[in-house]
Amino acid sequence: MSNRVCIKRGLLTLMGVKFMGRLEHPTRFSMCVRSKTTSAQYVASRFRDPTFEKLMDNYKNLVKVISIQDLILANPKNPSVSIDFLSKLSQKLHLNRGATAFLCKFPHIFHIYYDHSKLKPFCRLTDAALGVTRQEAVAINASLPVVVERLVRILSMSASRMVPLRAVFKVWKELGLPDDFEDSVISANSGVFQLCDGHEQNTHLLKLVDGVSSNGIRAAVEDWRVVECCKEDCSVDRMEMQFSFKHGYPPGMRLSKNFKAKVKEWQRLPYVGPYEVPGEKKKSKAGMMAMEKRAVSIVHEFLSLTVEKMVEVEKISQFRKWFGIDLNIRDLFLDHPGIFYLSTKGKKHTVFLREAYERGCLIEPNPVYDARRRLLDLVVLERRGLPAVNSKLEDSSSCGEARQEENQQRHYLSPS
């Protein structure tokens, strides 16, 4: 795409894109027109962080596991689902080798059995997987006061103090909301939240009740600045620390002197915080830079409010207009690789808050994250850790029956 505001040559060169010709500034902090680099090329040219990429490899399977788990738990009286039903959904669930092959890959999570009364194979969760779901449910119920505060903070970042309810539905798991949050969180706190009709038909807006003050809310980055300033070995200038963000880069990413100088210049740049009321937008260079830094502060705060400090770009984009962000959010993440990391694994763009992670794990975990991490550990385990003989015989017989059922279904569904 032409005529798009882009980051300049220095950062893209670091990410493996070579340019001919001379450009004076290496970062987006001074604006330029992207004439040859399309958005897709910009994403493809980013520097890969092997730690986050490995984590996303595991998350690809975790997303599929959770989709099947939700189907199983949808029937509380009989938490199971038939193999032929899952086979019909294989394409939608992205089970490339079929439902049975996928289920048999994770015997620590799924148990396949044959129901003789219904004459077909079914799948249910193992005791270990059921224990994880109970742990997560308990953790979510115990964190309801924290969840209320998260929603208050998100609404406070909107100039109108409201966001579409459908946008909240998109990120309810990321925010650690219970699945009945409309009743257990919104209706139960009618003195804080209010639902009102939107401008479009069948749309609702979630807003803060008049009188609920947003004063005194401090962004997460402010806490980091206080800790940094209190360190005895702090060598950062106070003026720079006042508006700075924590930066970190993966091993192997070379940073030029010019790039470092531009980052330092950006760190000193004043901006309006995510919970402050922005002034009139200025079209000057300084005004555009301040607007971009405010956008960084908003998405930084949003990620800080999520359970796992990560979210799909498509989901956070639902809030863009309501947060007053006029920039392409995906490009914003790419322009600041020291703060965010963008992964494209699993055919989805997912952004991580880099400072929250160390070696692929949250530095400061929470109870909901701990439960979800246990499920991820079961996914990574795959077939390892099973007893050598008995489980293999039992697993092969159940999977064999399920595969036979699935093959028969494919035969009947295939055109003659």
Side-by-side strand order, sheet with 110-115: 81-82, 120-125, 110-115
User: Does the predicted model carry a pTM greater than 0.75?
Assistant: yes
Residue 121, beta-bridge partner list: 114
* 361 and 245 part of one domain: yes
Domain carrying residue 266: 129-375
Per-residue pLDDT for 119 more than 70? yes
Both tokens of 383, joined, read 């077939």
* 276 and 147 part of one domain: yes
* 122 and 134 part of one domain: no
Task: Give yes or no for a contact between 151 and 187, defined as CB atoms under 8 angstroms apart.
Answer: no
* 359 and 278 part of one domain: yes
- The band of 33, judged by pLDDT with boundaries at 50, 70 and 90, is very low
- Angstrom distance (rounded) from CA 405 to CA 2: 53
Sign of CA pseudo-dihedral 345, 351, 357, 362: negative
* 235 and 268 part of one domain: yes
Domain boundary at 128, 144, 164, which? 128
Q: Is residue 235, in this structure, part of any structural domain at all?
A: yes
* 194 and 211 part of one domain: yes
What CATH number has the domain bearing residue 64?
1.10.10
Per-residue pLDDT for 49 more than 50? yes
* 59 and 134 part of one domain: no
Q: Is residue 34, in this structure, part of any structural domain at all?
A: no
So what's the pLDDT on residue 413? 40
pLDDT tens digits, 348-374: 899 999 999 999 999 999 999 999 999
Per-residue pLDDT for 8 more than 50? no
* 145 and 207 part of one domain: yes
Task: Give me the long-range contacts of 327-330 (CB less than 8 A, separation at least 24).
Answer: 327/5, 327/291, 327/292, 327/295, 328/4, 328/39, 329/295, 329/299, 330/39, 330/43
pLDDT tens digits, 259-312: 899 998 999 999 999 999 887 777 788 888 999 999 999 999 999 999 999 999
Q: Is residue 384, in this structure, part of any structural domain at all?
A: no
Domain boundary at 60, 93, 128, which? 128
Domain boundary at 93, 128, 163, which? 128
So what's the pLDDT on residue 347? 78
Q: Is residue 77, in this structure, part of any structural domain at all?
A: yes
* 156 and 305 part of one domain: yes
Share of the chain above pLDDT 70, in %: 83
- Angstrom distance (rounded) from CA 96 to CA 16: 32
So what's the pLDDT on residue 22? 36
Q: Is residue 301, in this structure, part of any structural domain at all?
A: yes
Name the domain count of the chain.
2
* 237 and 115 part of one domain: no
* 114 and 221 part of one domain: no
Per-residue pLDDT for 48 more than 50? yes
- Angstrom distance (rounded) from CA 156 to CA 276: 9
* 204 and 93 part of one domain: no
Mean pLDDT score, 228-246: 78
Mean pLDDT score, 157-183: 95
